Amino acid sequence: MSELKVIVVGASGRMGRMLVRAVTEAKGVVLAGATERSGSPFVGRDAGELAGVETLGIRLVDNINDCAKADVLIDFTTPVATLQHAVFVAERGMGIVIGTTGFAAEQLQQLQDRLSNSPVVMAANYSVGVNLALNLIEKAAEVLGNDYDAEIFEAHHKHKVDAPSGTALAMGKALAAGRGVDLDDVAVYSREGITGARKPGTIGFSVVRGGNIVGEHEAMFIADEERIEINHRASDRMVFARGAVRAANWLSEQSSGWYDMQDVLNLRD
Ligand code: NAD
């Protein structure tokens, strides 16, 4: 079987470096290109050296058109950058694994339009553990129903720019799906001042930002007599990078379509 050729965009970012490392660790996967935004001090540097692995002979470029031909692009950057990369992959007939979070509704629609004929995996969280947790949350919500007050908590490092995290929102969606409702109709994203008593059936979110927390998520089902908690803690970003490379491998065998990690891990009922 031929090797899977991958481009990592944003290759000097926190996730970008991990992705380069995960690509070099994976069997049958090679790095074909690496990019950074123009003006980045890392343009021209070797992707492997930045990632703390061996020199790979792949230098970061600020024009994606300068990358060698590849099968899949892995993108953990910003919504604006991912929208630009979508045009590139659609023109080249490549697959794309998207980890970027924080898309506004219109941006997401634009992304879907641009990638309507491409193989796409998009997930708020590429960890296997989180994806299993999403499944468990949906099941718990189905069994426990509205008698239990549902709350979602998340904590991340101080550099994170969007809130609640994409994973917290994915947990909210799984919870709402288990209850047969739409998250938009029941989500409570902030509480301040005289909020009144908790409305039955709502799903509350709370957020912590600080230090170097990689990612903590918890779904709570709270009744007067008991409390069920489904909790995930990531302690190293490599867990997301390995999951994304696994998704790239899986995607190379799929035809056009919009998939997520539940599909990659075959967790869908
Ligand atoms: P980061 O800021 O460290 O890295 C992003 C990189 O993208 C930066 O180096 C930036 O210069 C680069 N970039 C911006 N515009 C670019 C462009 N046009 N072309 C090429 N590179 C460009 O951020 P991070 O912590 O690595 O997170 C990146 C994204 O991934 C965020 O949206 C974050 O929420 C998300 N994330 C998702 C998961 C997941 O499992 N889905 C896990 C971790 C982070």
Domain contains 18: yes
Q: Report the alpha-carbon distance of residue 262 to residue 268 in Å, rounded.
A: 6
Domain contains 260: yes
CATH assignment at residue 212: 3.30.360.10
Q: Report the alpha-carbon distance of residue 183 to residue 176 in Å, rounded.
A: 5
Examine the pLDDT at 82 and tell me if it is beyond 80: yes
Q: What is the mean pLDDT of residues 132-141?
A: 96
How remote is the CA of residue 22 from the centroid of ligand 1, in Å? 16
Domain contains 106: yes
What helix, strand, coil percent values describe the chain, rounded to 5?
Answer: 35, 25, 40
Are residues 142 and 56 part of one domain? no
Are residues 247 and 185 part of one domain? no
Are residues 155 and 78 part of one domain? no
Domains of the chain: total = 2
Confidence of residue 2 (pLDDT cuts 50, 70, 90): confident
pLDDT for the residue 267? 87
Catalytic residues, by residue number, are: 156, 160
How remote is the CA of residue 42 from the centroid of ligand 1, in Å? 14
DSSP 199: P
Cβ of 76 less than 6 Å from ligand 1:
yes
Contact between residue 93 and residue 234 where contact means Cβ atoms under 8 Å apart: no
Tens-digit pLDDT profile for residues 88-129: 999 999 999 999 999 999 999 999 999 999 999 999 899 999
Cβ of 36 less than 6 Å from ligand 1:
yes
Confidence of residue 254 (pLDDT cuts 50, 70, 90): very high
Are residues 111 and 16 part of one domain? yes
Confidence of residue 1 (pLDDT cuts 50, 70, 90): low
Are residues 241 and 213 part of one domain? no
Q: What is the mean pLDDT of residues 31-46?
A: 98
Q: Which residues have C-beta within 8 Å of that of residue 194, sequence separation ≥ 6?
A: none
Q: Which residues have C-beta within 8 Å of that of residue 28, sequence separation ≥ 6?
A: 1, 3, 4, 249
DSSP 78: -
How remote is the CA of residue 202 from the centroid of ligand 1, in Å? 31
Are residues 138 and 74 part of one domain? no
pLDDT for the residue 64? 97
Domain contains 143: yes
Q: Report the alpha-carbon distance of residue 184 to residue 170 in Å, rounded.
A: 12
Confidence of residue 145 (pLDDT cuts 50, 70, 90): very high
Domain contains 85: yes
pLDDT for the residue 265? 94
Cβ of 102 less than 6 Å from ligand 1:
yes
Domain contains 102: yes
How remote is the CA of residue 231 from the centroid of ligand 1, in Å? 25
Are residues 242 and 229 part of one domain? no
The atom number, within ligand 1, closest to the CA of 100 reads 32
Tens-digit pLDDT profile for residues 181-236: 999 999 999 999 999 999 999 999 999 999 999 999 999 999 999 999 999 999 99
Are residues 118 and 9 part of one domain? yes
Are residues 113 and 243 part of one domain? yes
Are residues 70 and 196 part of one domain? no
Are residues 242 and 111 part of one domain? yes
Tens-digit pLDDT profile for residues 24-38: 999 999 999 999 999
Cβ of 125 less than 6 Å from ligand 1:
yes
pLDDT for the residue 264? 96
CATH assignment at residue 55: 3.40.50.720
**Domain span at residue 110?**
4-122+237-264
The atom number, within ligand 1, closest to the CA of 243 reads 40
Domain contains 70: yes
pLDDT for the residue 56? 97
The atom number, within ligand 1, closest to the CA of 161 reads 34
Domain contains 269: no
Confidence of residue 87 (pLDDT cuts 50, 70, 90): very high
pLDDT for the residue 124? 87
Residue found by looking up tokens 């079987």 in the block: 1
Are residues 79 and 15 part of one domain? yes
